[in-house]
Every structure is written in C-alpha cells, then in structure tokens.
Amino acid sequence: MHRIGDKILHPLHGVGVIEGITEEEVLGQNRKYYIVNLSMKRMTVMVPVEQAEEIGVRKITKSHELEEMIEILKVKTISQMPTNWNRRYKFNLDKIKTGDIKEYAEVFRNLSLKEQKKGLSMGEKKMLENVKSLIVGEIACAKNMDLKKASAYIDEAVH
C-alpha cells in the first residue's frame, strides 16, 4: 500500500504524488481511493486502492535502476513486433499498460527506430510522444532533473 506523499507512476498518465486517501461510496460499496496529483498533466485522478497494483501503479524507479532502461534504449535493432500497424499499436499499448519502465523503453526505442527508417502512422506518432513523456517524467523525478535534461538524456541514448 502506498502512503500520502509517495511519488508514483500511473502507467497511462505518468508521474504523480499521492495527495490523499479517501473513502467513497460507488455502486453501493465503500471503497478506498488514492487521490493522485499528476502535475505534468495538470490533473488529479482517483485510483482504487485495491486495484492499484493490477492497474500498474507503482513507486518511481530508483535512479540506479534507470541505467538498465538506458541500455535498452541504446540497442539499435527493433524487437519482434507485428507488421500490421493496428496489431503493432495494440501490442505496444499492452506493453505500456504494464507500467514497466523497461517495456516503455522498448516501445520508445522500437518506435523511434521505425520512425527513422520508414515513418509512423499518426497513432504510432502519438504513442511515441506519450511513451516518451512517461519516461521523461520518471527520469526527471528519479534523478531530480528538469524535463528538458531528462528528454535530452533519453534522446542521446536512442540516437
């Protein structure tokens, strides 16, 4: 269980801080929720406490663990992915939903390399922007650096 003040990562929304824990009645049942401030997106979300792990909510990766992610970005080959763009989109979205920084890195690297070689569909371009935002936010938080430096950090690794 997370506590108020914990920095967490929501797999689809990015880095946030738990500002509170509340109990709400939903469909006749009382449930506890984390109130998470997602400052990069300027929004607050409520995450059911008992489903947080299933959703993929986790603590921010430790700074030293990010080095494994950087090594994934440095690989200059694209991993096995479906060739059909809509299957590839779902395949990558499923990886992002895991909340695993290594999976984010693989999706970012694969889409970046694919973009350099033959371009991406509009959906994949948006996915590339989103997964980069997730990685940049987590690096900035874990390494205590601003977003521009974090962005340059991963761009340098992948290019």
Q: Are residues 34 and 94 in the same domain?
A: no
- What distance in Å separates the CA atoms of residue 85 and residue 134, rounded to the nearest whole number? 22
Q: Are residues 51 and 67 in the same domain?
A: no
pLDDT class for 151, splitting at 50, 70, 90? very high
Q: Are residues 81 and 153 in the same domain?
A: yes
pLDDT tens digits, one per residue of 35-75: 999 987 889 999 999 999 999 899 998 877 888 899 999 99
Q: Is 87 part of any domain?
A: yes
Q: Is 99 part of any domain?
A: yes
Q: Are residues 23 and 44 in the same domain?
A: yes
- What distance in Å separates the CA atoms of residue 83 and residue 130, rounded to the nearest whole number? 21
| φ/ψ of residue 20, rounded to 5 | -175, 170
Average pLDDT over residues 94-121: 91
pLDDT class for 119, splitting at 50, 70, 90? confident
Q: Are residues 35 and 90 in the same domain?
A: no
pLDDT of residue 26: 85
Q: Are residues 51 and 71 in the same domain?
A: no
Domain holding 119, by residue range, is 63-158
pTM of the model: 0.85
Block residue for tokens 């989103």:
130
> Of 99, 100, 130, nearest to 10 (Cα)?
99
